[in-house]
Amino acid sequence: MIRVTRSAVIDAPIDRVWELLRDFNSHSAWHPAVGESRIENGEPADQVGCVRNFFLKDGNHIREQLLALSDRDHLSTYCILDATLPMKHYVATVQLKHVTDGDRTFWHWQSTFEVPRGREQEFQELVGKGVYEGGFEGLRAFLRRGGAASPRVPNADAAQGQAVVATAFGGPEVLRFESLPVKAPGPGEVRIRQTAVGVNYIDVYVRKGLYRMIEPPAAIGMEAAGTVFDVGPGVAHLLPGDRVAYACPPPGAYVTLRTLAADQVVPLPDHVSDEVAAALMLKGMTAEYLLHRTHRLQPGHSVLVHAAAGGVGLLLCQWAKALGAKVIGTVSSEDKARVARANGCDFPIVTGNYRFAADVKNLTSGRGADVIYDGLGREAANQNLDALAFTGHWVSYGQASGAHDAFPDLSSKSGTLSRPVLFHYTAERARLNEIAGNVFKALKEKIIQVTVLHRYPLAAAAEAHRDLEARRTTGSIVLLP
Amino acid sequence: MIKVYTSSVIEAPADAVWAQLRDFNGLPKWTPFVAESRIEGGLAADKIGCVRNFRLKDGGVIREQLLTLSDYDYQCSYSILESPMGVENYVATLKLTPVTDGNRTFAEWWAEFDCAPERERELAQQIGQGVFQGAFDSLKSLLRR
């Protein structure tokens, strides 16, 4: 006997969710795995004993009978009568409960059944993930869409898009604006009509070939926002028309239309505009994991933020300040010191030659910094060790001045070193949702904000790169397709 | 007889939440309004029938008796023996259910009791929001991830 239990919290009042679930024939509207469904003999869908006769999108055919329905207990029990799957004695119960705290709904879904020996694991997964978890996601997406239209079948054909392509490794002149066919989404993929594309310094490294993440000719770019055009089989959490954003490898975001892994794509809340999302996904999620995951910043910690007026630096200062830390930063000019100060940096140190350790010690009564967020790399290594407090945490997340050959001996400080990479933290969708959710929440609560936004047409990406490399921009850059 | 029902979602696994709640003598550790608590007669706090005798921060003293404790169902029921609240036949139940999506916990707390009819609204509000939701809120910040 196999027992499968899954449960979730749905962000909607219980009456709204129950209205759907009490209808024994509604699953074809909201469940991503369910195809055509009908109630046999024209009976009402809330008549105990009625039979729903339906196809799964993978081709399987199932007949299920309603055994119990209670509006008072928000409970529905049903069993399988016939199926093309080898499942026996399948009885399932769906029950909803009111979460009074926030007027939400707790959804509990449980079943017991038997399958041929040796296939238990396979059916645990199929029912638990494919049917129940897929159902939670599908119903959430359905409610987000205001209860309209079930997912459209993807268009089988490639669609025509336009892309900024690096034709070779080199300067901004290698970027060309070209037409590009964009394939229909396969299993687990989504196709997005993009409305704003974020520009990051990593794009320059990719274009130059310093990070070998593409083989020219290929489109570059790591993040964008837009609207779902269509989804491939097995994608439960997105529907056509959803506003979404992503920040992930491989490069290829400088395009009007893109097909990529749906697992890396998150729905956008109403309060986050496409442009802000495109400007913030990569840098905001970087700040989130650095301050909450790589190191859990505590109130009263002394934190050293390098390039404190840079894209990630400003967000680190804003967020670290809100967390109650003492924020020390390094910047390259008085102008940037003013910007950093206005964004939560208590003590900006102006330095052009990577010398800051003595200042950091003075500002911390000789202790040094409890945590250092270091995007500088090789040139600043010895100063960083000097500036670190005993048992401090040195977080090396970037290497603007060149890759580290070797790190100095941390035993002189009993120091801890981390070499985090965003895409490892966001590889699992549950973690990605958490991290992106915290960024959106921090935006809403004005803990972080996008200070300046430079806009360029997508076709003018080369110009945007020129301005970025000449340091003619401060703040964020977005390209508009 | 009136019934008060409060439920919430705690951002921690059910085992971690239950570790706090199953200690019948543990109210001072996780609720904001209990100053001190002891089990009468030196009994173990998980012995069915034991009585917790606790003092609220506002000075009131309450005696409650453990009726049910289930480590299997994450569930606990108790009745009020004495209190300054003016309730009769008061029986309350706390129950946790794991939320597999996100490894969180659905927490329910309900009570049934008799009281003077003109005090029903006030008591329902005081118990449902003041006591149950107040304790959930304090539990949420205690177990914040």
Any B CB within 8 A of A72 CB: no
**What are the two backbone dihedrals, phi and then psi, of residue B63, each rounded to the nearest 5 degrees?**
-120, 125
Judged by CB atoms closer than 8 Å, whether chains meet at A6 and B9 is answered as: no
Any B CB within 8 A of A8 CB: yes
| Nearest Cβ partner for A7 among B5, B6, B99 | B99
Same structural domain, A389 and A466? no
- pLDDT on residue A147: 66
Judged by CB atoms closer than 8 Å, whether chains meet at A9 and B5 is answered as: no
Chain A residues close to B105, C-beta within 8 Å: none
Same structural domain, A15 and A140? yes
The pLDDT of residue A59 is above 90: no
Strand partners, A438: none
Is residue A22 included in any domain, yes or no? yes
Tens of pLDDT, residues A239-268:
878 899 999 999 999 999 999 999 999 999
Which domain-ending residue is among A103, A118, A144?
Answer: A144
Judged by CB atoms closer than 8 Å, whether chains meet at A100 and B8 is answered as: yes
The pLDDT of residue A232 is above 60: yes
Secondary structure element (H or E) that encloses residue A206, with its range = helix A201-208
Task: Kindly report the number of other CB atoms within 10 A of residue A155's CB atom.
Answer: 12
The pLDDT of residue A402 is above 80: no
Any B CB within 8 A of A455 CB: no
Tens of pLDDT, residues A105-132:
999 999 999 999 999 999 999 999 999 9
High-pLDDT (> 70) share of chain A, %: 97
Judged by CB atoms closer than 8 Å, whether chains meet at B7 and A9 is answered as: no
Same structural domain, A415 and A433? no
Q: Is the peptide bond before B117 cis (omega within 30 degrees of 0)?
A: no
* 3-class SS shares of chain B: helix, strand, coil, % to 5: 30, 45, 30
Is residue A289 included in any domain, yes or no? no
Same structural domain, A314 and A273? no
Same structural domain, A65 and A80? yes
Q: How far apart are CA A461 and CA A173, in angstroms?
A: 10
Q: What is the DSSP letter of A379?
A: G
Is residue A287 included in any domain, yes or no? no
- pLDDT on residue A153: 46
Half-sphere exposure of A334 (CA within 13 A, CB side): 0
Strand partners, B98: B105
Strand partners, A159: A182
Nearest to B65 by CA among B32, B84, B89: B89
- pLDDT on residue A433: 93
Is residue A152 included in any domain, yes or no? no
Number of structural domains chain A divides into? 3
| DSSP secondary structure of A90-115 | EEEEEEEEEETTTTEEEEEEEEEEE-
The pLDDT of residue B144 is above 80: no
SS3 B1: coil
Chain A residues close to B106, C-beta within 8 Å: 7, 9, 97, 99, 106
Judged by CB atoms closer than 8 Å, whether chains meet at B106 and A97 is answered as: yes
- pLDDT on residue A158: 72
Is residue A475 included in any domain, yes or no? yes
Any B CB within 8 A of A108 CB: yes
The pLDDT of residue A473 is above 80: no
Tens of pLDDT, residues A79-107:
999 999 999 999 999 999 999 999 999 99
Alpha-carbon distance A130 to nearest alpha carbon in chain B (angstroms)? 13
Residues near B67 by beta carbon (within 8 Å), at least 6 away in sequence: B48, B77, B78, B79, B91
Q: How far apart are CA B109 and CA B139, in angstroms?
A: 13
Same structural domain, A171 and A229? yes
Angle, nearest 10°, between helix axes A311-322 and A334-342?
40
Same structural domain, A304 and A277? no
Tens of pLDDT, residues A272-329:
999 999 999 999 999 999 999 999 999 999 999 999 988 899 999 999 999 999 999 9
Alpha-carbon distance A34 to nearest alpha carbon in chain B (angstroms)? 21
**What confidence category does residue A58 fall into, taking pLDDT thresholds of 50, 70 and 90?**
confident
Alpha carbon dihedral B59, B61, B67, B68, in 10-degree steps, equals: 20
Nearest to A263 by CA among A226, A234, A242, A285: A234
Same structural domain, A263 and A362? no
Same structural domain, A134 and A176? no
Chain A residues close to B3, C-beta within 8 Å: none
Whether A65 and A78 have beta carbons less than 8 Å apart is answered as yes
Q: Domain of A350: which CATH number? A: 3.40.50.720
For residues B95-106, give the mean pLDDT. Answer: 95
Q: How far apart are CA A440 and CA A446, in angstroms?
A: 10
**What confidence category does residue A146 fall into, taking pLDDT thresholds of 50, 70 and 90?**
confident
**What confidence category does residue B133 fall into, taking pLDDT thresholds of 50, 70 and 90?**
very high
Q: How many CB pairs under 8 A join A and B?
A: 53
- pLDDT on residue A149: 47
Q: What is the DSSP letter of A245?
A: E
Whether A161 and A179 have beta carbons less than 8 Å apart is answered as yes
Which domain-ending residue is among A370, A392, A419?
Answer: A419
Same structural domain, A122 and A47? yes
Minimum Cα–Cα distance from B132: chain A residue: A101
The pLDDT of residue A405 is above 90: no
Strand partners, A350: A331
Range with lowest mean pLDDT among A327-336, A405-414, B35-44, B102-111:
A405-414
Q: Is the peptide bond before A187 cis (omega within 30 degrees of 0)?
A: no
Same structural domain, A6 and A130? yes
Any A CB within 8 A of B9 CB: yes
Judged by CB atoms closer than 8 Å, whether chains meet at B100 and A6 is answered as: yes
For residues B81-100, give the mean pLDDT. Answer: 95
Nearest to A451 by CA among A361, A338, A366: A338
**What are the two backbone dihedrals, phi and then psi, of residue A322, each rounded to the nearest 5 degrees?**
-65, -25
Q: Which of residues 61-120 of B touch A (CB under 8 A)?
A: 97-102, 104, 106, 108
Whole-number average pLDDT of chain A: 91
* 3-class SS shares of chain A: helix, strand, coil, % to 5: 30, 35, 35
The domain containing residue A466 runs over which residues?
Answer: 159-282+425-480
Is residue A256 included in any domain, yes or no? yes
Burial class of residue B43 (count of CB atoms within 10 Å of its CB; 0-12, 13-18, 19+): middle
Q: Are strands A159-166 and A175-182 parallel, antiparallel or unpaired?
A: antiparallel
- Paired tokens of A55: 């196809």
For residues B94-118, give the mean pLDDT. Answer: 95
Q: Domain of A25: which CATH number? A: 3.30.530.20
Q: How far apart are CA A376 and CA A307, in angstroms?
A: 8
- pLDDT on residue A180: 87
The pLDDT of residue A154 is above 60: no
The pLDDT of residue A150 is above 80: no
Whether A202 and A222 have beta carbons less than 8 Å apart is answered as yes
* pTM tops 0.80, yes or no: no
Q: Domain of A225: which CATH number? A: 3.90.180.10
Strands (E), A306-451: 326-331, 347-350, 369-374, 388-396, 416-418
Which domain-ending residue is among A111, A144, A177?
Answer: A144
Strand partners, A9: A106
Q: Which of residues 134-193 of A touch B (CB under 8 A)?
A: 136
Amino acid at A118: G
Quote the Cα angle for B32-B33-B36, to 5°.
105
| DSSP secondary structure of A274-308 | HHHHHHHHHHHHHHHHIIIIIS---TT-EEEESST
Is residue A154 included in any domain, yes or no? no
Tens of pLDDT, residues A182-191:
998 988 999 9
Whether A387 and A412 have beta carbons less than 8 Å apart is answered as no
Q: Which of A106, A137, A438 to mutate to test the interface with B (most CBs of B within 10 A)?
A: A106
Is residue A150 included in any domain, yes or no? no
**What confidence category does residue B145 fall into, taking pLDDT thresholds of 50, 70 and 90?**
low
Same structural domain, A264 and A169? yes
**What confidence category does residue A148 fall into, taking pLDDT thresholds of 50, 70 and 90?**
low
| DSSP secondary structure of A428-474 | SHHHHHHHHHHHHHHHHTTSS----EEEEEGGGHHHHHHHHHTT---
